[in-house]
Amino acid sequence: MSGATLRVRCPDCGGSAAREVSSYLSMSGGLRWCAETHCAACGFMLQDVDDELSEAERAAILAEEGLFALRFTPADGADVRVRSAVRQALSLTFAEVTALFRQCPQQPVTGVRAELDLIAARIRRAVPAAEPVVMPLP
């Protein structure tokens, strides 16, 4: 689970509204973001759901929770099945995932906690012996 509250402009009255974003898993196992916007001044209320975070939402969650990294043991980092699971989870090409692991073999992926938790779960499903760990970056 990840989430944060940010201030946005109310589409009705132009005042300052609160937008509360939180992650959840869809029925198909994908990561989705539910957001509730509420304006205390005029009562405007909107709930929406999206697959992607906006830049402002991502920044608010990172400010709230910090940046996380997906960390691998040296053996897992060298395992092609682990790399394949990362590639599929992030929709990367072979060249892109190879570059990620070359730059940072034990910590190739960083991001919002909920995103990495999901990638870690997919890796464990694909490679039961793998031990990916999601940990906060200092």
Binding site for Zn ion (CB under 5 A): 10, 12-13, 15, 39, 41-42, 44
Name which of 41 and 63 has its Cβ closer to Zn ion.
41
Name which of 13 and 75 has its Cβ closer to Zn ion.
13
In the complex, the smallest distance separating the C-beta of residue 40 from Zn ion, rounded to whole angstroms, is 8
In the complex, the smallest distance separating the C-beta of residue 44 from Zn ion, rounded to whole angstroms, is 4
In the complex, the smallest distance separating the C-beta of residue 63 from Zn ion, rounded to whole angstroms, is 24
Which pairs from 111-116 meet CB under 8 Å and 24+ separation? 111/67, 111/68, 112/2, 112/23, 112/53, 112/58, 112/61, 112/62, 112/65, 112/67, 112/68, 113/1, 113/2, 113/65, 113/68, 114/1, 114/2, 114/23, 114/31, 115/2, 115/31, 116/68, 116/69, 116/70
* Distance of alpha carbon 112 from the chain centroid: 4
Name which of 6 and 70 has its Cβ closer to Zn ion.
6
In the complex, the smallest distance separating the C-beta of residue 5 from Zn ion, rounded to whole angstroms, is 16
Name which of 46 and 118 has its Cβ closer to Zn ion.
46
